[in-house]
Structure 1
Amino acid sequence: MQELAERAGISGRTLRHYHQIGLLEPDRVGSNGYRYYGADAVSRLQRILLLRETGMPLADIAGVLDATTTPAAETEALTGHLEHLAQERAALDRRIKAVEHTLSMRRQGREPRMDVMLEGFNDRYEEEVVERWGRDAFDASNQWWHGKSVQQQKEWKARADALLARWREILQDGHEMDSAKAQEHAAVHVEWFKEIPGTPTHAGDTAKSVDMIRGLADQYETNPDFHVAFGTQEAARFAASALRLRVRRLEPSSADDLRG
C-alpha cells in the first residue's frame, strides 16, 4: 500500500479511506495487516484519481466505476458533472457582479441599491423565497432573470423604473389611492408581477398572490431602498396602500382577476 500511495502521489491514509468506503479494494490483506494491490486495482485507482481531479464527489465516482465496464456511464456522469460545474460558475459570476456593484457604490459613498425589480426573487433572497413558495418558484424566476441578455435586463429595468415613477406622478396629480387612476395602475402593477415565472401571480395562485403583494406592499412602505426607487417615501407608501386596496377588492373573485 505504501509503495502504491507514493507512486500515485497520495497518502496511505487516502488509500485506507478508499478501502473503508468500498471505493478501492485491495487484492488481498496479509496476515500482518498489509494491503496488496494488483494491476486491476492500480487501473481502478488511476480512474479514481482522474475523476477526482474534475471535482466529482467520491460517491459519484463509485457509481461510475461500479455501474458498467463500458465508458457510457462515465461519459454520462462527466456530462452531468460538467453541467453542475457550469451552474456553479454562473452562480459565482453573479456573486462577483454583485460584489463589484457593492464595491463601486461604496467607493462613490453611496448605498448599494436593492434590486427592486426582483425583490424576493434573486440570489440574495433564495432562502426566503424557497421557504415561502418552494424551490421550483426560486429556480424558475432566477433562471428567467439570468437567462436574459444584458440588454434585455436593462430594458426590463427601464420598464420597472417607469412603473414605479408612474406612482409618484399619480400622487402628485392629486389622486387618492382608491381613485380610478390609482386602481388602474395597481392593476398594471399586478400584471407586471405576473411576468416573472415562479411568482404566485404568474402561476395564478390567488391566495399566495395576495400574500406576496401584501408582503411587497409592506416592503414598499417601510424599506428606505424602495423609497428611493419610487422617488419619495410618500409615493412608495401611496403605492403600497393602493395595492393593498386592489388585492382586497379582488379577493372575492380574485381567481379570474389574477390569472388575467
Structure 2
Amino acid sequence: MSEEVETAVEYSIQEIARAAGTTSRTLRHYDAIGLVRPARVGRNGYRYYSDRSLVRLQRVLLLRDLGLGLDRVAEVLAAQDAGSGAGESADAVALAEARVLGVHLDLLEQERARVDRQIGAVRRTIAALTTPHEGNGLMAANMFDGFDHTKHKDEVIERWGENAYAASDSWWRSMSAEQQQGWQDQVAALNADWVAAATDGEDPASERAQALARRHVEWLRGVPGAPAGDAFAAYVRGLGEMYVADERFAAHYGGVSGATLVRDALHALLDGDA
C-alpha cells in the first residue's frame, strides 16, 4: 500500500488553514515549535492533519485568544496534557481533552456575555444619538456596560474604602494603552495557569499551586491602594472568599472549582507565612 493512502480521515494544510482562518505559514511554524504537529508528512513533503490535530489546534487558538504568547501557550498545554492521561487509551485521551475544552467553553461563554453587553451599550448609544432627547445627555448607568474597568467599584469601596479605590483608579488611568494591555496580558496568563492547575486537580498545598499563589500575591501587591502590613493578609483572604462566592470572579478561574483552588492555595500560603 502506498504511503499516501490512509484509512483515517486526513486534511491538507490548506484545508486546515482555510477552516481555522489562519495561514499555512502559521501552521508550519506551529509544527516547527512543537505546538501542533501534523499526523504525518508525505513523501512529497506535504503535511496531513488528523482529527486529533484539529483539537490541538483549537486549544492553541483558544489560548491565543486569551492573550497568551506562544511560549505561554506551550507551557499551559504541557501542564494540561500532564494530567490529561497522555499515553492512555484513545478514548481516555479524548475524554480528557473534552474536559479541558469544557473549561475553555466556560471562559468563552463568559466572554460572549461581556461582548453582548458591549453590543447592547453601543446600540443604546446609537439610539440616543439618533433620537431627539430633552438635554439629558448621553450618560446612563449602562452606557459603558462591558467596558468599564471600574465595574466592581462599589464592592471595592465597601470592603476597603474610598482611598483604596481612588488610588487604584488613578493608577490605572495613568497608564498608556500599551501598559494597560501589558497588565491585562499578565492577568490573562496568571488566570490561564490557575485554570490549567484546577483542570489537573492540583492540590492547593502542592508546589505548583503555591508557586501560583505567590505570583498571585505579588500581582495584588503591585496594585496601588492594596492594604499594607497585617491588613494585606486579611485583604488577600477576603479576595479569595469573594472569588468563590461571586460567579463573576469565579469565571476568571474556570468556575467555582477553579476559584476554590485559588482561595485555598492563597490561604495555605498565608498560613505558612504566619
Q: TM-score, normalised by structure 1?
A: 0.46
More helix by share: 1
Q: TM-score, normalised by structure 2?
A: 0.44
Q: Identify which of structures 1 and 2 has the higher relative contact order when contacts are C-alpha pairs closer than 8 Å and 6+ apart.
A: 2
Greater C-alpha Rg:
1
